[in-house]
Amino acid sequence: MAYRHLEISHRDAVRTIIVNRPDKLNALNRETLNELTLAFVQAAQDDSVRAVVLTGAGEKAFVAGADISEMNGYTPMQAQGFSRTGQQLMSTIERLGKPVVARIQGFALGGGMELAMACHLRVASEKATFGQPEINLGLIPGFGGTQRLLRLAGRGAAIELCLTGGTITAQRAYELGVVNRVVAPAALDETVNALADQLAAAAPLAAAGILDAILQGGETSIDQGLEFETQAFALAFATEDMREGTTAFLAKRKAVFKGS
Protein backbone atom coordinates (compact mmCIF):
# COMPACT_ATOMS: atom_id res chain seq x y z
CA MET A 1 0.00 0.00 0.00
CA ALA A 2 1.02 3.65 -0.36
CA TYR A 3 2.05 5.57 2.75
CA ARG A 4 2.16 9.33 3.24
CA HIS A 5 5.06 9.40 5.67
CA LEU A 6 6.94 6.16 5.03
CA GLU A 7 9.01 4.61 2.26
CA ILE A 8 9.25 0.82 2.06
CA SER A 9 11.94 -1.04 0.15
CA HIS A 10 13.09 -4.66 -0.14
CA ARG A 11 16.41 -6.40 -0.57
CA ASP A 12 16.02 -10.15 -0.66
CA ALA A 13 14.50 -11.12 2.72
CA VAL A 14 15.21 -7.74 4.33
CA ARG A 15 12.51 -5.05 4.43
CA THR A 16 13.56 -1.46 5.05
CA ILE A 17 11.08 1.00 6.55
CA ILE A 18 12.02 4.68 6.26
CA VAL A 19 10.29 7.46 8.20
CA ASN A 20 10.04 10.04 5.44
CA ARG A 21 9.41 13.49 6.94
CA PRO A 22 12.83 15.10 6.47
CA ASP A 23 11.38 18.62 6.59
CA LYS A 24 10.22 17.79 10.15
CA LEU A 25 13.40 15.85 11.00
CA ASN A 26 11.17 12.75 10.73
CA ALA A 27 9.15 13.76 13.80
CA LEU A 28 6.41 11.37 14.85
CA ASN A 29 2.87 12.66 14.56
CA ARG A 30 -0.16 10.45 15.14
CA GLU A 31 -0.53 9.59 11.45
CA THR A 32 3.10 8.49 11.21
CA LEU A 33 2.74 6.34 14.33
CA ASN A 34 -0.30 4.63 12.80
CA GLU A 35 1.48 4.08 9.49
CA LEU A 36 4.50 2.60 11.24
CA THR A 37 2.30 0.23 13.24
CA LEU A 38 0.60 -0.96 10.06
CA ALA A 39 3.93 -1.35 8.25
CA PHE A 40 5.33 -3.52 11.03
CA VAL A 41 2.16 -5.62 11.26
CA GLN A 42 2.47 -6.25 7.52
CA ALA A 43 6.12 -7.20 7.92
CA ALA A 44 5.19 -9.65 10.66
CA GLN A 45 2.56 -11.28 8.44
CA ASP A 46 4.77 -11.54 5.34
CA ASP A 47 6.70 -14.82 5.41
CA SER A 48 9.13 -13.52 2.80
CA VAL A 49 10.40 -10.96 5.32
CA ARG A 50 13.05 -12.36 7.67
CA ALA A 51 14.50 -9.11 9.06
CA VAL A 52 13.55 -5.44 9.13
CA VAL A 53 15.69 -2.30 9.04
CA LEU A 54 14.17 0.92 10.41
CA THR A 55 15.65 4.32 9.64
CA GLY A 56 14.82 7.94 8.86
CA ALA A 57 15.10 9.94 5.65
CA GLY A 58 18.07 12.25 5.21
CA GLU A 59 21.27 12.53 7.20
CA LYS A 60 20.16 14.97 9.90
CA ALA A 61 17.88 12.68 11.89
CA PHE A 62 16.82 9.13 12.52
CA VAL A 63 13.77 10.57 14.26
CA ALA A 64 14.13 13.85 16.14
CA GLY A 65 11.17 13.20 18.45
CA ALA A 66 7.41 13.52 18.56
CA ASP A 67 5.75 16.29 16.57
CA ILE A 68 5.57 19.15 19.10
CA SER A 69 3.35 21.28 16.86
CA GLU A 70 0.69 18.56 17.03
CA MET A 71 1.15 17.87 20.74
CA ASN A 72 0.94 21.52 21.76
CA GLY A 73 -2.87 21.62 21.59
CA TYR A 74 -3.59 18.25 23.21
CA THR A 75 -5.91 17.85 26.16
CA PRO A 76 -4.87 15.34 28.85
CA MET A 77 -7.19 12.72 27.31
CA GLN A 78 -5.77 13.30 23.84
CA ALA A 79 -2.25 13.06 25.27
CA GLN A 80 -3.13 9.75 26.91
CA GLY A 81 -4.35 8.41 23.59
CA PHE A 82 -1.20 9.67 21.84
CA SER A 83 1.00 7.96 24.42
CA ARG A 84 -0.87 4.70 24.03
CA THR A 85 -0.63 4.90 20.25
CA GLY A 86 3.13 5.34 20.53
CA GLN A 87 3.48 2.57 23.09
CA GLN A 88 1.44 0.22 20.89
CA LEU A 89 3.88 0.85 18.03
CA MET A 90 6.91 0.24 20.25
CA SER A 91 5.41 -3.01 21.57
CA THR A 92 4.55 -4.12 18.04
CA ILE A 93 8.20 -3.67 17.03
CA GLU A 94 9.60 -5.30 20.15
CA ARG A 95 7.27 -8.31 19.86
CA LEU A 96 7.47 -8.66 16.08
CA GLY A 97 9.04 -12.11 16.25
CA LYS A 98 11.54 -11.04 13.55
CA PRO A 99 14.80 -9.15 14.15
CA VAL A 100 14.51 -5.37 13.74
CA VAL A 101 17.66 -3.28 13.29
CA ALA A 102 17.62 0.49 13.84
CA ARG A 103 19.94 2.36 11.46
CA ILE A 104 20.61 5.58 13.36
CA GLN A 105 22.07 8.71 11.81
CA GLY A 106 21.80 12.19 13.24
CA PHE A 107 19.26 12.93 15.97
CA ALA A 108 17.49 10.17 17.91
CA LEU A 109 15.74 12.27 20.52
CA GLY A 110 12.60 11.81 22.60
CA GLY A 111 10.24 9.62 20.61
CA GLY A 112 13.10 8.87 18.23
CA MET A 113 15.23 7.41 20.99
CA GLU A 114 12.20 5.49 22.22
CA LEU A 115 11.65 4.15 18.70
CA ALA A 116 15.28 3.04 18.47
CA MET A 117 15.14 1.34 21.87
CA ALA A 118 12.10 -0.69 20.79
CA CYS A 119 14.19 -2.24 18.01
CA HIS A 120 16.17 -5.37 18.83
CA LEU A 121 19.55 -4.09 17.64
CA ARG A 122 20.84 -0.55 17.12
CA VAL A 123 23.67 0.51 14.79
CA ALA A 124 24.60 4.18 15.05
CA SER A 125 26.74 6.59 13.09
CA GLU A 126 29.49 8.27 15.11
CA LYS A 127 27.60 11.50 14.44
CA ALA A 128 24.33 10.28 15.99
CA THR A 129 22.97 12.07 19.07
CA PHE A 130 20.67 10.53 21.67
CA GLY A 131 18.52 11.98 24.44
CA GLN A 132 15.19 12.12 26.27
CA PRO A 133 14.64 15.90 26.41
CA GLU A 134 10.94 15.82 27.34
CA ILE A 135 11.54 17.46 30.73
CA ASN A 136 12.63 20.61 28.86
CA LEU A 137 9.06 20.80 27.53
CA GLY A 138 7.48 20.19 30.91
CA LEU A 139 6.79 16.58 29.94
CA ILE A 140 8.01 13.06 30.57
CA PRO A 141 8.76 10.37 27.96
CA GLY A 142 5.48 8.87 26.78
CA PHE A 143 6.41 6.10 24.33
CA GLY A 144 8.19 3.79 26.78
CA GLY A 145 11.38 5.77 27.30
CA THR A 146 11.43 5.54 31.08
CA GLN A 147 10.98 1.78 30.97
CA ARG A 148 13.19 0.68 28.08
CA LEU A 149 16.02 3.05 29.00
CA LEU A 150 15.88 1.66 32.54
CA ARG A 151 16.19 -1.88 31.21
CA LEU A 152 18.93 -1.10 28.70
CA ALA A 153 21.12 1.35 30.59
CA GLY A 154 20.18 0.90 34.24
CA ARG A 155 18.46 3.06 36.85
CA GLY A 156 21.17 5.68 37.28
CA ALA A 157 21.55 6.42 33.56
CA ALA A 158 17.79 6.43 32.98
CA ILE A 159 17.19 8.89 35.81
CA GLU A 160 20.04 11.16 34.71
CA LEU A 161 19.04 11.29 31.04
CA CYS A 162 15.35 11.79 31.74
CA LEU A 163 15.81 14.34 34.57
CA THR A 164 18.46 16.47 32.88
CA GLY A 165 17.05 16.26 29.36
CA GLY A 166 20.62 16.29 28.09
CA THR A 167 21.98 14.63 24.99
CA ILE A 168 24.71 12.02 24.66
CA THR A 169 26.97 10.95 21.84
CA ALA A 170 26.73 7.64 20.04
CA GLN A 171 29.86 6.47 21.84
CA ARG A 172 28.33 7.25 25.24
CA ALA A 173 25.13 5.47 24.18
CA TYR A 174 27.29 2.45 23.30
CA GLU A 175 29.01 2.57 26.69
CA LEU A 176 25.59 2.59 28.40
CA GLY A 177 24.36 -0.40 26.38
CA VAL A 178 21.78 1.62 24.44
CA VAL A 179 23.59 1.07 21.13
CA ASN A 180 25.09 -2.20 19.90
CA ARG A 181 27.56 -0.80 17.36
CA VAL A 182 28.99 2.62 16.48
CA VAL A 183 30.56 3.08 13.05
CA ALA A 184 31.85 5.84 10.82
CA PRO A 185 29.08 7.50 8.79
CA ALA A 186 30.50 6.10 5.55
CA ALA A 187 30.32 2.56 6.97
CA LEU A 188 26.77 2.78 8.33
CA ASP A 189 24.93 1.28 5.36
CA GLU A 190 27.47 -1.49 4.82
CA THR A 191 27.38 -2.45 8.49
CA VAL A 192 23.59 -2.41 8.75
CA ASN A 193 23.14 -4.35 5.50
CA ALA A 194 25.63 -7.03 6.53
CA LEU A 195 23.96 -7.43 9.92
CA ALA A 196 20.45 -7.54 8.40
CA ASP A 197 21.58 -10.12 5.84
CA GLN A 198 23.06 -12.28 8.60
CA LEU A 199 19.83 -12.09 10.60
CA ALA A 200 17.68 -12.81 7.54
CA ALA A 201 19.70 -15.94 6.76
CA ALA A 202 19.28 -17.34 10.29
CA ALA A 203 16.59 -19.86 11.23
CA PRO A 204 13.47 -17.68 11.61
CA LEU A 205 11.64 -19.87 14.11
CA ALA A 206 14.75 -20.09 16.27
CA ALA A 207 15.15 -16.30 16.03
CA ALA A 208 11.56 -15.84 17.18
CA GLY A 209 12.18 -18.23 20.08
CA ILE A 210 15.30 -16.33 21.12
CA LEU A 211 13.48 -13.00 21.05
CA ASP A 212 10.61 -14.43 23.09
CA ALA A 213 12.92 -16.03 25.63
CA ILE A 214 14.92 -12.85 26.18
CA LEU A 215 12.13 -10.27 25.98
CA GLN A 216 9.33 -12.19 27.69
CA GLY A 217 11.32 -14.53 29.90
CA GLY A 218 13.54 -11.65 30.95
CA GLU A 219 10.58 -9.94 32.62
CA THR A 220 10.00 -12.89 34.99
CA SER A 221 11.99 -14.54 37.77
CA ILE A 222 15.12 -16.49 36.80
CA ASP A 223 13.35 -19.81 37.41
CA GLN A 224 10.39 -18.82 35.24
CA GLY A 225 12.73 -17.50 32.57
CA LEU A 226 14.70 -20.75 32.53
CA GLU A 227 11.50 -22.75 32.15
CA PHE A 228 10.45 -20.44 29.32
CA GLU A 229 13.82 -21.13 27.66
CA THR A 230 13.47 -24.91 28.12
CA GLN A 231 10.03 -24.95 26.48
CA ALA A 232 11.24 -22.84 23.55
CA PHE A 233 14.30 -25.08 23.19
CA ALA A 234 12.12 -28.18 23.09
CA LEU A 235 9.75 -26.65 20.53
CA ALA A 236 12.69 -26.03 18.19
CA PHE A 237 13.10 -29.82 17.91
CA ALA A 238 9.72 -29.99 16.18
CA THR A 239 10.95 -27.84 13.28
CA GLU A 240 12.42 -28.78 9.93
CA ASP A 241 14.91 -25.96 10.40
CA MET A 242 16.41 -27.76 13.38
CA ARG A 243 16.86 -30.92 11.27
CA GLU A 244 18.36 -28.85 8.46
CA GLY A 245 20.71 -27.00 10.78
CA THR A 246 22.06 -30.05 12.57
CA THR A 247 22.29 -32.11 9.35
CA ALA A 248 24.13 -29.30 7.57
CA PHE A 249 26.56 -28.99 10.49
CA LEU A 250 27.35 -32.71 10.40
CA ALA A 251 27.72 -32.62 6.63
CA LYS A 252 29.98 -29.54 6.84
CA ARG A 253 27.76 -27.48 4.54
CA LYS A 254 25.86 -24.23 4.94
CA ALA A 255 22.32 -24.62 6.24
CA VAL A 256 19.37 -23.28 4.26
CA PHE A 257 16.55 -22.41 6.60
CA LYS A 258 12.95 -22.24 5.36
CA GLY A 259 11.08 -21.23 8.48
CA SER A 260 9.29 -24.53 8.95
Residues acting as catalytic residues: 114, 134
DSSP the chain: ---SSEEEEEETTEEEEEE--GGGTT-B-HHHHHHHHHHHHHHHH-TT--EEEEEESSSSEEE--B-HHHHTT--HHHHHHHHHHHHHHHHHHHTSSS-EEEEE-SEEETHHHHHHHHSSEEEEETT-EEE-GGGGGT----SSHHHHHHHHH-HHHHHHHHHH--EEEHHHHHHTTS-SEEE-GGGHHHHHHHHHHHHHHS-HHHHHHHHHHHHTGGGS-HHHHHHHHHHHHHHHTTSHHHHHHHHHHHTTS-------
Within 13 Å and on the Cβ side, how many CA atoms surround 168?
23
